[in-house]
Amino acid sequence: MPRDLPDWTYERRRELGDRIRHLRLRANLTQEVFAEMTGIDRRTVQRIEAGTSDPPYSSLLLIADVLDVPLEDLVRR
């Protein structure tokens, strides 16, 4: 059941997706290779980068590990 969230949460989700995309590209990884390395479905990676998906904490941990950045840097504001 979808819940209504404040507008600012959608903006923060887009910022997170942009940050992940930037770091992935900086690491010269395609979405497909990145998905394989994290164990996250490529379509899910695509939705996370687009800001249309709320990644679970465990996925954020995997993403940070593959991108070799502290989780704090990944989710910073």
1 in any annotated domain: no
> Residue 28 has which token pair?
């010269």
Residue numbers in the chain where pLDDT is lower than 50: 1
* Domains in the chain, number: 1
CA-nearest of 18, 12, 14, 30 to 66 is 30
2 in any annotated domain: no
CA-nearest of 8, 40, 12, 10 to 24 is 40
Question: What is the span of the domain harbouring residue 33?
Answer: 7-75
- pTM metric for this prediction: 0.90
24 in any annotated domain: yes
pLDDT in tens, 34-47: 999 999 999 999 99
CATH code of residue 62: 1.10.260.40
pLDDT of residue 2: 55
CA-nearest of 73, 67, 74 to 26 is 67
H-assigned helices in the chain: 7-26, 31-38, 42-50, 57-67, 71-75
